[in-house]
Amino acid sequence: MTTNSKTLADQARARGAHSHLMAGRPADKLSTMDAIAAALSFPDYFGRNLDALYDCLTDLSWLPSGEHVLIWTGSDTLKDADPKAYLAIRSVLSDAERALAPGGDRADSRRLTVALSDE
C-alpha cells in the first residue's frame, strides 16, 4: 500500500525514525540511484552502480543510529519508463532492508525501511 510522503514522514517521526525523501521523479536507473544517494547523504565514494548502491545502503555508518525511512515518491515514473531498472533497484532496496533487519547479515545500530509514496 502506498500513501503520501508527508504522512509517511510523520509516521516515521512518530516512531522515532529518520525520514529521507527522494527528490524529483527520476525516470532512469542512474538518476534514481543519484536521488537515493542524495536522500541518504551517501559519501562521495558512491560508485553509481547497483553493487555500490547495495554496499552504501547496508552501511549507512555516516547517519545516526536508528531506523532510516527512505521515501520514494513517484516510483511509478521509473517503473513505467524502464521496468527492468525499476525491478533491479527495488530488488537492491529489498535486499538491503533484509540485510539491516534484526538477524540480517549486516544488522547493526541502523535499520533501513523503504516506503513508496503515491504522490
* pTM of the shown model: 0.93
Instruction: Note the pLDDT tens digit of each residue in 94-118.
Output: 999 999 999 999 988 999 999 998 7
For 26-37, write each residue's pLDDT tens digit.
999 999 999 999
What is the average pLDDT value for the chain, to the nearest integer? 94
Which pLDDT score, from 0 to 100, does residue 1 have?
Answer: 47
Q: Which residues contact 25 (CB under 8 A, 6 or more apart)?
A: 73, 74, 77
Cell of 55: 554496499
Contact 81, 92 (CB under 8 A): no
Domains parsed from the chain with CATH numbers = 5-117 (3.30.370.10)
Helix, strand, coil percentages for the chain (3-state, nearest 5): 45, 20, 35
